[in-house]
Chains A and B, each alone.
Chain A
Amino acid sequence: MKKIFLSIIFISSALLLFAQAKKPTIMVVPSDQWCIKNGYTQTIDIQGASTVIPDYQAALQNSTDLLMAISKINEMMTERGFPLKNLESSLKTLRDQAAEDAMLTGKEGGEVAETPIDKLKKVAKADIWMQLTYTVNQAGPKRSLSFNLQGLDAYTDKQIAGASGTSAQSFTTEVQILVEEAILSHIDLFNSQLQAHFDDMFTNGREIIVRIKTWDNIGYDLEEEFDGEMLSTIIEDWIADNTVQGRFNTSTVTENNMLFEQVRIPLEIEENGKVRAIDARRWVGMLRKYLRDNYSIESKLMMQGLGQAQLVIGAK
């Protein structure tokens, strides 16, 4: 009996030890401003309006400075124990995957199922973007480099870290050397802010955004009452009960839409005696289950990375 008890204790502690928070992915990209200034853009038509977007592939294929800068930042971050996702490799994987999907047919002649949403989401993704901008300033024979590195949360749009500055004027002609110097001098400051962001996340929970929508053909909306409570209030109360210290902001509430920002969710939860690391999808999945089990409301859950999830009420 004692042996069984000890084994249970051992297994529980092992589970607790191995449950680790989901690690955010970070990717370095050139800023839109840098891409436009250097001519690495493409124009696309979005519902009749032509929009200029950065062409990362062209930038990486043509700018040695950029490739070197990204490689240097990746090297420095790996040295700090946080390897980054590489933009060039991500773009290559997306191309390979698209080619593979196009050629794939099953034995019965079926093709890979893909909704318009799946197509839309086939882009290089990261949880934190490290957005890089640099400009070479010329003053007579001397040059200096203005440098800006921003760490942006892909879901909350917050700048979580940053380092910027202009180097001293020098006769150095190679841009690569100026860029390397700038990265070496600024990366520590950037990392100390990134560390502070992670520390805050471990203390106060992961910050996410939750969107609630309704299908237009379900015959009710968020103002419908269930057991004497409006559906929007039921959802809001569930969020209040399940956030870290009840931290969240209700930004928008209409009969069809709800937007919750600065929602602080725990990094891990206990489920069936096991500790699980959770993200926005899993957390909003708990809300979906709550609505189904208590009010017989079905809903469709959609995710966007670790920090954004959407629940469409009414049907799957």
Chain B
Amino acid sequence: MSKHFRIVIFALTALLLASCASKKEATANKATMTWQYEIEPTTGQATQGSILVKVWSYSGSKGVARTLAGKNAVHGVLFKGVAALNEQNARVPQQKPIVTDVNAEETHKEFLNEFFKDDGKYMKYVNFINNGIPAPGDIIKVGPRYKVGVRVSVAKDALRKEMEAAGIIKSLGAGF
């Protein structure tokens, strides 16, 4: 009886922990879908056709915020663009958003939901610098949440081609 009781307790605890984790993830995903993040330029080595950015994501858990960085970085390059960096030893010109149609997120909702789902196609265009581990000082406690900064490389040229193929944007020679 006591053995059975222990198994039930163990199973319940495991279930509770799992539900807590998935709740955190669900909350984080919800936050992602409202796209609460900040994106800024950063310097370093990137392959041709890629852009290096630092994304600050928000979540109740440091780990989840870190994993959301990929989605946020791709979304930022697509819809927000990246400001210019003008420092003495590092200069990066402004990067305009790939998708300029302000209604595109609504018009292509179905495609974008599929694209940005967990382990969705967006993963193809993201490369985490330093394995996605934030630099010291890049995890900041903001009220009940964490603000976590992660450096990410986004393959912008390939991403643009994907958007062209999906009909979200036109190629430069389209219509001629």
Residues on the B chain within 8 Å of A168, using CB: 87-91
* CB atoms of A169 and B88 under 8 A apart: yes
| Number of chain B residues whose Cβ lies closer than 8 Å to a Cβ of chain A | 22
Beyond A80-B171, A169-B88, A192-B100, is A22–B176 a contact (Cβ under 8 Å)?
yes
| Number of chain A residues whose Cβ lies closer than 8 Å to a Cβ of chain B | 29
Beyond A168-B91, A188-B95, is A21–B48 a contact (Cβ under 8 Å)?
no
Q: Which residue of A lies closest to B92 (CB)?
A: A185
Beyond A165-B91, A185-B93, is A20–B172 a contact (Cβ under 8 Å)?
no
| A-contacting residues, B66-98, CB 8 Å | 87-96
Beyond A165-B91, A166-B91, A168-B89, is A194–B172 a contact (Cβ under 8 Å)?
yes
CA distance A81 to B164 in the complex (A): 11
* CB atoms of B96 and A192 under 8 A apart: yes
Task: Let me know if B121 is at the binding interface, CB within 8 A.
Answer: no
Task: Let me know if A79 is at the binding interface, CB within 8 A.
Answer: yes
Contact for B172 among A166, A184, A186, A191, CB less than 8 A? A191
Contact for A23 among B100, B171, B176, CB less than 8 A? B176
Task: Let me know if B44 is at the binding interface, CB within 8 A.
Answer: no
Residues on the B chain within 8 Å of A188, using CB: 95-96, 156
Task: Let me know if A163 is at the binding interface, CB within 8 A.
Answer: yes
Residues on the B chain within 8 Å of A21, using CB: 175-176
A123 CB to nearest chain B CB (Å): 24
Interface residues of A (CB under 8 A from B): 20-24, 77, 79-82, 163, 165-169, 184-186, 188-189, 191-192, 194-196, 198-199, 202
Interface residues of B (CB under 8 A from A): 48, 87-96, 100, 156-157, 164, 170-176
